Amino acid sequence: MTLIEMGKNAKLAAGQLMTASTPLKNSALEAIADALIKNTDIILDANKKDTESAKARGISESMLDRLTLTSTRIASIADATRQVASLPDPVGQVDSTVIRPNGLKISRVRVPLGVIGMIFEARPNVTVDAAVLCLKSGNAVILRGGSEAIHSNIALTEIMQNALEKAGLSRFSVQIISDTSRETAKELMRLNGYIDLLIPRGGAGLIRTVVENATVPVVETGVGNCHVYIDEHAQIDMGVNIIYNAKTSRPSVCNAAETLLVHKNIAEQFLPKAYEKLREKNVEIRGCSETVRILGNVKPATDTDYETEFLDYILAVKVVDSVDEAILHIKKYSSGHSECIVTDSYPTAEHFLSQVDAAAVYLNASTRFTDGGEFGLGAEIGISTQKMHVRGPMGLTALTSIKHIIYGNGQIR
Amino acid sequence: MTLIEMGKNAKLAAGQLMTASTPLKNSALEAIADALIKNTDIILDANKKDTESAKARGISESMLDRLTLTSTRIASIADATRQVASLPDPVGQVDSTVIRPNGLKISRVRVPLGVIGMIFEARPNVTVDAAVLCLKSGNAVILRGGSEAIHSNIALTEIMQNALEKAGLSRFSVQIISDTSRETAKELMRLNGYIDLLIPRGGAGLIRTVVENATVPVVETGVGNCHVYIDEHAQIDMGVNIIYNAKTSRPSVCNAAETLLVHKNIAEQFLPKAYEKLREKNVEIRGCSETVRILGNVKPATDTDYETEFLDYILAVKVVDSVDEAILHIKKYSSGHSECIVTDSYPTAEHFLSQVDAAAVYLNASTRFTDGGEFGLGAEIGISTQKMHVRGPMGLTALTSIKHIIYGNGQIR
């Protein structure tokens, strides 16, 4: 099938999904969860093809782990599907209603976006997670996963399509592009008239390619160069716990901290304690000259270190003269994802929270909380680092738009 | 100045505007309004250069009228500026606050987008209108108007810049690109890292160019192929008034109706009455074979007529067998702007309102109400026909984003 044909089919399916009832959509999701469990063997067989060819190409252990499905992992994908079924349906919710002086009643009603395109890398669980969130919010989806997981992705999609059809929805509600060449990805980015929103989910390179090439609307996701600033009025233990958690609880994710900023008046006390804790996980420190002076045997930091999203057990450190120097540093290097200040000073906190512009700005809490589940959205399809449409974790509502419904009794202008 | 330099200056100005107080922004807007009045002669001199060179090139009367400023028009631009000053400031508004089970308090707070790019055509009043809405919502703006109005636009911008500086804001809060070549427009469309949102305002050609070339986030505006459907259960007089108003009250605007759909069971009664009324304004009818049969001497419609946004005293007409045929016709030809049904039947109305997907769907009211002022937004910078970020009239809130502010007391994950 050509991409245009896929687009046409998706549009037809989206037309049906637009007005599908919540119970119908939920029963389709339950049917998908059942089918995933029932077809575990088929999924594992397909996944084996992917992992074996990945091993033959000699990919890293961590990449292989991300690619691998097990019956436990399939069960947890099915569980996540059922959990999305249990979430409130955003479609049809009325955001506001106003009655104008001329008697017109104007309601802002949530409607699906239509057709969502999703370009993502390795992990095959994203295939189901993304499809399920799109379906629940009444959207059709065209998926384009990476070549490494193509057998898994095709198997998962076919299982979902059959379940959808049984539940009474179009099988074209979820489609996957089987040709994983760069050309099809670029074609998807330019499928105007068929794609209402394109979400790239992956590394900085993928996001950049999409932003540069897409002519359809895009939400940028993911890159997180996050900072934790320890103010002179911070509680030292709290600061140590927060940077330790933000750096080491899961270094490979976008809400992990990459740079620690410390006020000069607290640096002598704070840095040795933080360093002692971070060494438990063998975190490599790359510090400014003052950090090196205080800690002794740590690497000096370069400008590149402050720019880098390490996604690893590496932490850039800088001692600053003031909260304003910390804010300036963050303005210069931040990717606008998650930023944190640790302080007990109310005016300093308010100053930082208002001056720092990011999807999430924290006072006295780890940056690791920037997550759809932690924010109470139930699930997320990605974390937006742009300011348009949605900023921060994207839940079901971010997959909807507004329609104005206007009730009159003959008004003319 | 290069566009990159303008972008850097705009970013610095946006940093200041982000936290500018409402009184400061309002006093700057009042200062702009005062300065426009005070410098009326300078503006008229500059405008004369534009209109004279336009006359020399032999542009149409209506284009010339759009380009021409008078002291009355300048006064009304100043009035509009003061009206924006009087609107509520969206910045700092808290959309919602949740307290999570772990005690984290998460607030969604409205913040400015940052730097807005605006590409527009002929009318110089847009220069001030757009700048003022951006300023009120805490954004810096880079304007790129058409070459026809360049002298007026530069004069207006300089007057605004001087007023801003006097009021204590950066003069780079509002900038205009003086080089009106296509290259600078394209450069603006690709000024990633400096432009947070680009709004093209103009004809279909401009919008298409921007969508195809932009790598910065864009909101598409404007194209309106709007339909009025007269159901078999419509009140005939109400239907006549609505189509007459929707077509003729201002045919050149995007919310004017372009196609009339009529249920076959009411067509024999309705069409002659509507035609009689529309002839008062010499509206040209292009009808389907059934319309031609009923009305006699009217032109037959082609497929192209149903696709066309006439923006003129021309109306395509089609008799349909059912509300579903009307819905299908709209699905095929609609630009997703404004669609209307006239009916007294509750189930038919609900069916139409839920099945038709557009920024605004009307029951028993003219499509001409799709407008920021009419919707109660106070003013608008354009009408979005896309589904992302904002749909329909774009008021001040559409020029803002969300920041999550999270208050903790040491939470880690």
Q: What percentage of residues in chain B have a pLDDT greater than 90?
A: 91
Residue B113's pLDDT is 97
Q: Across the interface, do B364 and A409 touch by the CB < 8 Å criterion?
A: yes
- Chain A residues lying within 8 Å of B362, measured CB to CB: 406, 408
Q: Across the interface, do B413 and A211 touch by the CB < 8 Å criterion?
A: no
Contact A288, A318 (CB under 8 A): yes
- Residues A147-157: pLDDT tens digits? 999 999 999 99
Residue B53's pLDDT is 95
Distance from CA of A144 to the nearest CA of B (A): 21
Residue A222's pLDDT is 75
pLDDT at B94 over 80: yes
Distance from CA of A104 to the nearest CA of B (A): 8
Question: Which residues, 6+ apart, have CB-to-CB distance to A12 below 8 Å?
Answer: A170, A172
- φ and ψ at residue B102, rounded to 5 degrees: -80, 5
DSSP lists the bridge partners of residue A318 as: A261
Grade residue A89 by pLDDT with cuts at 50, 70 and 90. Answer: very high
- Residues A118-139: pLDDT tens digits? 999 868 989 999 999 999 999 9
Distance from CA of B138 to the nearest CA of A (A): 13
Question: Which residues, 6+ apart, have CB-to-CB distance to B17 below 8 Å?
Answer: B25, B112, B135, B138, B139, B140, B169, B170, B173
Grade residue B221 by pLDDT with cuts at 50, 70 and 90. Answer: confident
Question: Both tokens of residue B204?
Answer: 């279909």
pLDDT at B123 over 90: no
- Residues B133-173: pLDDT tens digits? 999 999 999 999 999 999 999 999 999 999 999 999 999 99
DSSP lists the bridge partners of residue B301 as: none
Indicate the residue of A238, A375, A412 with minimum beta-carbon distance to B241.
A412
Residue B269's pLDDT is 98
- Residues B299-352: pLDDT tens digits? 999 999 999 999 999 999 999 999 999 999 999 999 999 999 999 999 999 999
Q: Across the interface, do A404 and B388 touch by the CB < 8 Å criterion?
A: no
Q: Is A99 exposed, middle or buried (0-12, 13-18, 19+ CB in 10 A)?
A: exposed
Q: Across the interface, do B387 and A401 touch by the CB < 8 Å criterion?
A: yes
Residue B204's pLDDT is 82
Residue B202's pLDDT is 83
- Residues A291-308: pLDDT tens digits? 999 999 899 999 999 999
Contact B71, B40 (CB under 8 A): yes
Q: Quick one: DSSP state of residue A364?
A: E
CA–CA gap between residue A401 and residue A280 (Å, rounded): 47
- Residues B295-314: pLDDT tens digits? 998 999 999 999 999 999 99
Contact B382, B253 (CB under 8 A): no
Q: What is the mean pLDDT of residues B263-269?
A: 98
Residue A40's pLDDT is 98
Q: Across the interface, do A98 and B357 touch by the CB < 8 Å criterion?
A: no
DSSP lists the bridge partners of residue A339 as: A227, A361
- Residues A179-202: pLDDT tens digits? 999 999 999 999 998 999 999 988
Grade residue B205 by pLDDT with cuts at 50, 70 and 90. Answer: confident
Mean pLDDT value across chain B = 96
CA–CA gap between residue B34 and residue B81 (Å, rounded): 10
- Residues B358-400: pLDDT tens digits? 999 999 999 999 999 999 998 899 999 989 999 999 999 999 9
Q: Across the interface, do B370 and A404 touch by the CB < 8 Å criterion?
A: yes
Task: Provide the number of CB pairs (under 8 Å) joining chain A to chain B.
Answer: 193
CA–CA gap between residue A354 and residue A367 (Å, rounded): 17
Residue A308's pLDDT is 94
Question: A56-65, A217-226, B204-213, B230-239 — which one is most confidently predicted on average?
Answer: B230-239
Residue A1's pLDDT is 87
- Chain A residues lying within 8 Å of B365, measured CB to CB: 104, 406-412
Indicate the residue of A15, A106, A361 with minimum beta-carbon distance to B405.
A361
- Residues B23-81: pLDDT tens digits? 999 999 999 999 999 999 999 999 999 999 999 999 888 889 889 999 999 999 999 99
Instruction: Determine which of B95, B369, B394 to mutate to test the interface with A (most A C-beta atoms within 10 Å).
Output: B369
∠ CA A159-A6-B339, rounded to 5°: 115
Q: Across the interface, do A388 and B354 touch by the CB < 8 Å criterion?
A: no
CA–CA gap between residue A15 and residue A114 (Å, rounded): 8
Grade residue B185 by pLDDT with cuts at 50, 70 and 90. Answer: very high
∠ CA B362-B366-B368, rounded to 5°: 105
Q: Give the chain A residue whose CA is nearest to the CA of B198.
A: A388
Question: Both tokens of residue B125?
Answer: 């009043």
CA–CA gap between residue B403 and residue B107 (Å, rounded): 8
The single-letter code of the amino acid at B67 is L
Residue A226's pLDDT is 98
- Chain A residues lying within 8 Å of B113, measured CB to CB: 387-388
Q: What is the ipTM of this complex?
A: 0.93
Grade residue A61 by pLDDT with cuts at 50, 70 and 90. Answer: confident
pLDDT at A203 over 90: no
Q: Is B412 exposed, middle or buried (0-12, 13-18, 19+ CB in 10 A)?
A: middle
User: Which 3-state string (H, E, C) describes chain B?
Assistant: CCHHHHHHHHHHHHHHHHCCCHHHHHHHHHHHHHHHHHCHHHHHHHHHHHHHHHHHCCCCHHHHHHHCCCHHHHHHHHHHHHHHHCCCCCCCCEEEEEECCCCCEEEEEEEECCEEEEEECCCCHHHHHHHHHHHHCCCEEEEECCHHHHHHHHHHHHHHHHHHHHHCCCHHHEEECCCCCHHHHHHHHCCCCCCCEEEEECCHHHHHHHHHHCCCCECCECCCCEEEEECCCCCHHHHHHHHHHHHHCCCCCCCCEEEEEEEHHHHHHHHHHHHHHHHHHCCEEEECHHHHHHHCCCEECCHHHHHCCCCCCEEEEEEECCHHHHHHHHHHHCCCCEEEEECCCHHHHHHHHHHCCCCEEEEEECHHHCCCCCCCCCCCCCEECCCCCCCEECCHHHHEEEEEEEEEEEECC
Phi/psi-derived region of residue B210, left when phi > 0, alpha when psi is between -120 and 50, beta in every other case: alpha
Indicate the residue of A104, A241, A375 with minimum beta-carbon distance to B369.
A104
Residue B211's pLDDT is 86
Residue A168's pLDDT is 97
Q: Across the interface, do A192 and B215 touch by the CB < 8 Å criterion?
A: no
Q: Across the interface, do A388 and B401 touch by the CB < 8 Å criterion?
A: yes
Q: Quick one: DSSP state of residue A301?
A: P
Phi/psi-derived region of residue A363, left when phi > 0, alpha when psi is between -120 and 50, beta in every other case: beta
Lowest mean pLDDT among A12-16, A61-65, B244-248: A61-65
- Residues A229-272: pLDDT tens digits? 999 999 999 999 999 999 999 998 999 999 999 999 999 999 99
Grade residue B6 by pLDDT with cuts at 50, 70 and 90. Answer: very high
Distance from CA of B46 to the nearest CA of A (A): 35
The single-letter code of the amino acid at B398 is A
CA–CA gap between residue A378 and residue B58 (Å, rounded): 61
Residue A10's pLDDT is 98
Residue A88's pLDDT is 96
pLDDT at B96 over 90: yes
CA–CA gap between residue A327 and residue A117 (Å, rounded): 36
Q: What percentage of residues in chain B have a pLDDT greater than 70?
A: 100
CA–CA gap between residue A313 and residue A291 (Å, rounded): 18
Mean pLDDT value across chain A = 96
Q: Give the chain A residue whose CA is nearest to the CA of B358.
A: A403
Lowest mean pLDDT among B2-11, B71-80, B129-138, B195-204: B195-204
Q: Give the chain A residue whose CA is nearest to the CA of B220.
A: A217
The single-letter code of the amino acid at A255 is N
Q: Across the interface, do A374 and B413 touch by the CB < 8 Å criterion?
A: yes
Lowest mean pLDDT among A98-102, A216-220, A288-292: A216-220
